[in-house]
Amino acid sequence: MMLENNKYKISVITAVYNAESCIQNLIESLRVQQDKDFEWVVIDGASTDKTLKILNEINDLNIKIISEPDFGIYDALNKGIKICSGEYYLVAGADDIFYLNAISDYKSAIENKIDIITANLVIGNKIIKPNRGPSWRSGMFHWISQHSVGVLIKKDLHRVYGYYSHKYPIAADQLFIKKSCQDKAICKEINVTVGEFGLNGTSSIDDIGGLTECFRIQLITEKIKIVQYILFILRLLKRYIST
């Protein structure tokens, strides 16, 4: 049974540090949402540029700002999850943008017992969808399109599966999503495009670091370990050849 469209409040959570060059696009994309019943929680890692000034001047969004040093993006996201009021939350990087239908379409898709809702998004010039292969090969992307912008997560899942692990500073989202979906979390796909994923984050810039962390996560979440070693070596070779 579909729930009333506005029954659940959605929180958007952004971890940010020195993002004055790109955060304005995210702000504008939130301002033009068709459904404005959401809150924006920003966890700033004590920026030294004009990021905080830009954020503090916002008076037309339901925004909550914390600025203090942190131990990386997942430490910041954990803070945001703990203080947000939404029953579901979306992650957005400072260089991401939402299309104007994002909040409305996510909210309309909420149903009883649904834990995760994933949608399409744009990376570069390609539309990225969920289910990009079996989990032994594609990890969390078997279930979702992308952690940032592309997935709405029920906050209560963290009571069951814990918060984002500090052991994985680049890919802790992959461990959390995969553990949840391999167990009892119910995931729903919606065939709509909700935004664009920026390519300035750590996971995009530190390609080898991200690849290594994903390999570690695959090792602890998949049964046939030798397959993961082979895939890791092949992916390293592919990157070496392409450079």
Model confidence over 159-174: pLDDT tens digits? 999 999 999 999 999 9
Query: In this model, does residue 5 exceed pLDDT 70?
Result: no
- The CATH number given to whatever domain includes residue 168 is 3.90.550.10
* Average pLDDT of the segment spanning 199-213: 75
Question: Count of domains in the chain?
Answer: 1
Cβ atoms within 10 Å, residue 220: 11
* Residue 238 covered by a domain: no
Q: Parallel, antiparallel, or unpaired: how do β-strands 151-154 and 126-128 relate?
A: unpaired
What is the Cα–Cα distance from 27 to 6, expressed in whole angstroms?
22
Q: How far apart are CA 47 and CA 132, in angstroms?
A: 36
Do the domain assignments include residue 208? no
Mean local confidence (pLDDT), 47-51:
97
Q: Which of 14-18, 74-78, 84-88, 196-200 has the lowest mean pLDDT?
A: 196-200
22-45 residue pLDDT tens:
999 999 999 999 999 999 999 999
Residue 45: the pLDDT is 97
Given a cut of 80, whether residue 74 has pLDDT beyond it is: yes
Report pLDDT for 2: 39
The answer to whether residues 200 and 96 touch, using CB atoms and an 8 Å cutoff, is no
Domain annotation covers residue 127: yes
With respect to residue 47, please indicate whether it lies within any of the assigned structural domains: yes
Residue 239: inside a domain: no
pLDDT at 200 exceeding the cut of 80: no
Q: How far apart are CA 72 and CA 134, in angstroms?
A: 30
Domain that holds residue 14: 10-200
Average pLDDT on 86-90 reads 97
Residue 218 falls within a domain, yes or no?
no
φ and ψ at 185, to 5 degrees? Answer: -65, 135
User: Which alpha helices (DSSP H) does the chain contain, by range?
Assistant: 23-31, 51-56, 73-83, 102-109, 135-138, 157-161, 172-182, 202-205, 207-221, 225-242
Please give the model's pTM, rounded to 2 decimal places: 0.92
pLDDT value, residue 54: 98
Contact 150, 71 (CB under 8 A): no
Going by C-alpha positions, the residue among 6, 140, 151, 46 that lies closest to residue 89 is 151
Tally DSSP H helices, then E strands, for the chain: 10, 9
- Using pLDDT thresholds of 50, 70 and 90, give the confidence band for residue 240: confident
Q: Let me know if residue 80 belongs to a domain.
A: yes
pLDDT band at 239 (very low <50, low <70, confident <90, very high): confident
User: Which residues, 6 or more positions from 126, have their beta carbon under 8 angstroms from its beta carbon?
Assistant: none
Q: Express as a percent the part of the chain with pLDDT over 70.
A: 94
Residue 31 within any structural domain of the chain: yes
Q: What is the mean pLDDT of the chain?
A: 93
